[in-house]
């Protein structure tokens, strides 16, 4: 699998939270050659199943969400579009940002910005609240009311870019990069016999509620699940003790959202495979699908595996291709022989 090409397919498909269908279609097409069955559910998730062929086999679920942060049109003002955000977006990154307004057909827009020449003293040093920003698509008020219905979603307009040292930049790498990791995991296991039925979930609604992964986990009733999401990579202006250096492998969550036997297994297989062990202490709400998945039905043992990413929720997030490969290798090693795990057989956490 060529990671960059796979990410181009996934990230070019718009899919803001609640409007994921184009991204779901792209993901389903990539899953089809790697699974026995691929389908979408009523919530809007895409799911795949690779059967092991054993009667009564245990079920393991891997999840990565497909929705991206975005915006939604709330009204018009002199032809400019008012909007609110879908998911957590820092308003500082929005002025002068190119966007795609998902009308039929989609249209180009730019978030309006005041030139520095006409700013008041000190105004340039302040963030403009989202409620005061507008999207300019170059039309009149009458045209806007006719062409752009209230409730139209909007996404960043940004192509995928190659950086030095195998790094990749672009929009929606949170969490399409992790879905690409799940595809690579399936590819690594393609010629191998598993002792569990493996489910792969491309979930919707993570950025706004987590409802996609929660409902899918309830339906599948897995014996354990792994939420695969991004975590904060180290940057020049971030705290060194909480960020993970790009190119040094994935992070593994440790805390109340993480089943202890799964953490131990992840550490054991990472050491056996020569993959760096990067523990990430998560003392409470993890901000991932794992939090809701853990409470589905009578409870599901959950682990969190995280791909380091710089500039989260911006139009140019950055990951390392090497980290993506190491994460896929870790997940593949975790799955090999997991049906023999005593804790899995006993359904303990």
Active site (catalytic) residues: 206
Tell me whether residue 324 is exposed, middle or buried, using C-beta atoms within 10 angstroms of its C-beta: 0 to 12, 13 to 18, 19 or more.
Answer: buried
Residue 153 in contact with residue 308, Cβ under 8 Å?
no
Q: How far apart are CA 192 and CA 276, in angstroms?
A: 24
Q: How far apart are CA 321 and CA 249, in angstroms?
A: 10
Ordered alpha helix ranges (H), 79-120? none
Q: How far is CA 21 from CA 16, 30, 67, 344, in A?
A: 9, 14, 9, 34
Q: How far apart are CA 153 and CA 70, in angstroms?
A: 7
The closest alpha carbon to 53, from 76, 28, 36, belongs to: 36
Report the Cα 337 to chain-centroid distance in Å. Answer: 27
Q: How far apart are CA 28 and CA 51, in angstroms?
A: 17
Name residue 320's beta-bridge partners: 167
Residue 316 in contact with residue 237, Cβ under 8 Å?
no
Q: What is the DSSP letter of 196?
A: S
Report the Cα 160 to chain-centroid distance in Å. Answer: 16
């Amino acid at each position: 699998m060529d990671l960059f090409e796979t990410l181009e397919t996934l990230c070019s498909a718009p899919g803001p939270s609640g409007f994921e269908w184009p991204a779901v279609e792209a993901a389903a097409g990539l899953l089809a050659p790697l699974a026995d069955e691929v389908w979408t559910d009523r919530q809007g998730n895409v799911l795949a199943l690779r059967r092991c062929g054993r009667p009564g086999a245990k079920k393991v679920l891997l999840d990565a969400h497909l929705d991206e942060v975005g915006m939604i049109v709330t009204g018009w003002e002199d032809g400019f579009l008012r909007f609110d955000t879908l998911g957590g977006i820092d308003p500082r990154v929005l002025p002068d940002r190119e966007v795609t307004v998902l009308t039929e057909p989609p249209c180009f827009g730019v978030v309006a910005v005041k030139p520095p020449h006409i700013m008041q003293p000190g105004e340039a040093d302040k963030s403009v609240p989202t409620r005061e920003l507008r999207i300019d698509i170059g039309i009149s008020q009458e045209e806007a009311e006719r062409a752009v219905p209230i409730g139209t979603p909007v996404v960043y307009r940004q192509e995928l870019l190659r950086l030095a040292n195998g790094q990749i930049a672009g929009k929606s790498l949170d969490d399409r990069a992790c879905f690409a990791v799940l595809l690579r995991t399936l590819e690594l296991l393609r010629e191998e016999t598993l002792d569990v039925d493996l489910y792969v979930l491309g979930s919707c609604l993570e950025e706004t509620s987590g409802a996609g992964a929660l409902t899918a986990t309830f339906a599948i009733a897995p014996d354990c699940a792994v939420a695969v999401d991004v975590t904060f990579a180290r940057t020049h202006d971030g705290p060194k003790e909480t960020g993970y250096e790009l190119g040094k492998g994935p992070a593994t969550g440790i805390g109340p959202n993480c089943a202890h036997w799964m953490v131990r297994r992840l550490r054991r297989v990472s050491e056996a495979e020569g993959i760096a062990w990067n523990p990430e202490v998560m003392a409470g709400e993890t901000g991932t699908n794992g939090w809701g998945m853990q409470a589905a039905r009578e409870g599901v043992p959950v682990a969190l595996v995280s791909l380091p990413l710089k500039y989260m929720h911006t139009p140019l997030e950055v990951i390392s291709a090497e980290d993506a490969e190491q994460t896929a290798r870790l997940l593949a090693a975790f799955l090999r022989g997991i049906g023999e795990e005593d804790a899995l057989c006993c359904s303990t956490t």
